[in-house]
Amino acid sequence: MSLGSFGRSIRRNLVVIAGLLTLAYLLLPNIVVTVFSFNDPKGRFNYEWQKFSTDAWTDPCGVADLCGSLALSLQIAAWATLGATVLGTMIAFALVRYRFRARGAVNSLIFMPMAMPEVVMAASLLTLFLNMGTPLGFWTILIAHIMFCLSFVVTAVKARVMSMDPRLEQAAQDLYAGPFQTFIRVTLPIAAPGIAAGALLAFALSFDDFIITNFNAGSTVTFPMFVWGSAQRGTPVQINVIGTAMFLVAVLCVLAGMMVGRRSRQKA
């Protein structure tokens, strides 16, 4: 291969090289988190490599309050997902399927939380709770999470319902299905991927939320709050173990989903 053709192939694949470099930039912190989950740090902070150890992996709950905060985050994420998905799906159906007054106002009310820096929503919600004298804790976190997840669910479900063929429901009604039966047996299964996508997004957003929780949690400690606190007090290796495990679980879930999807497509 001459130097000229080498240069040409580099130039042709420039976008591929640049793209892969960006991918490396995106994945580098995850690699560091994984490697440092096997670290045995000297001091309180896990920022410098000392020596290999699997202690943290064999004892992931060995740090006080860590697993409690993780359980609390999972619990809040589950309830917030349920609430936001139910409310958001209802709004999405209303927006796509019905004509009604004040549609523009409803649309902007749903768009606004997505176009607002989190810190603004967090601060204003806190002023409401302070003025009302609401005790901060589990319930205020849950209220806040449902609020900011709602818009994302609406957007995800709306996209799916809009691309739905309305004739399928008409066909069901022509075949003597009542409105309720049509909804359960036809509408819901078709809208399910959109609802699932919205729910997944809500879960991820709620589980990883820090800023809004930081303002409205009071002294309740969720997992991101625990990590934030540990950045000041000292970072236990177990944080990296949980971060790595979450990453692996997510990748495995997606891969499994892709396999199931491929198999069902082959069947069809």
| Residue 1 touching other proteins (CB under 8 A) | no
Task: Report the nearest approach of other proteins to the CB of residue 182 (Å).
Answer: 12
Task: Report the nearest approach of other proteins to the CB of residue 187 (Å).
Answer: 13
Task: Report the nearest approach of other proteins to the CB of residue 247 (Å).
Answer: 5
Measured from the CB atom, is 52 or 176 closer to other proteins? 176
The region, left, alpha or beta by phi > 0 then psi within -120 to 50, assigned to residue 137 is left
| Residue 188 touching other proteins (CB under 8 A) | no
Window of 1-9, 56-64, 160-168, 251-259 that interacts with other proteins by CB under 8 A: 251-259
Among positions 108-167, residues that touch other proteins (CB under 8 A) are 108-113, 115-121, 123-128, 130-131, 143-144, 146-147, 150-151, 154
Q: Is residue 96 within 8 Å of 162, Cβ to Cβ?
A: yes
Q: Which of 40, 74, 211, 220 binds other proteins (CB under 8 A)?
A: 211
| Residue 15 touching other proteins (CB under 8 A) | yes
Among positions 42-81, residues that touch other proteins (CB under 8 A) are 47-48
Query: Which residue bears the tokens 């560091």?
Result: 32
Cα–Cα separations (whole angstroms), residue 215 to 114, 125, 127, 152, 199: 18, 8, 10, 21, 24
Measured from the CB atom, is 138 or 228 closer to other proteins? 228
Q: Which of 8, 10, 18, 42 binds other proteins (CB under 8 A)?
A: 18
Q: Which of 10, 175, 192, 259 binds other proteins (CB under 8 A)?
A: 175
Measured from the CB atom, is 143 or 190 closer to other proteins? 143
Task: Supply 53's token pair.
Answer: 């150890």
Q: Which of 231, 256, 259, 260 binds other proteins (CB under 8 A)?
A: 231
Q: How many residues bind to other proteins according to rule CB under 8 A?
A: 88
Q: Is residue 229 within 8 Å of 221, Cβ to Cβ?
A: yes
Cα–Cα separations (whole angstroms), residue 177 to 96, 183, 187, 188, 192: 22, 9, 12, 14, 19
User: Three-state DSSP class for 52?
Assistant: strand
| Residue 235 touching other proteins (CB under 8 A) | yes
User: Three-state DSSP class for 221?
Assistant: coil
Task: Supply 141's token pair.
Answer: 């976190």
Cβ neighbors of 76 (< 8 A, separation 6 or more) are: 138, 141, 142, 145, 206, 222
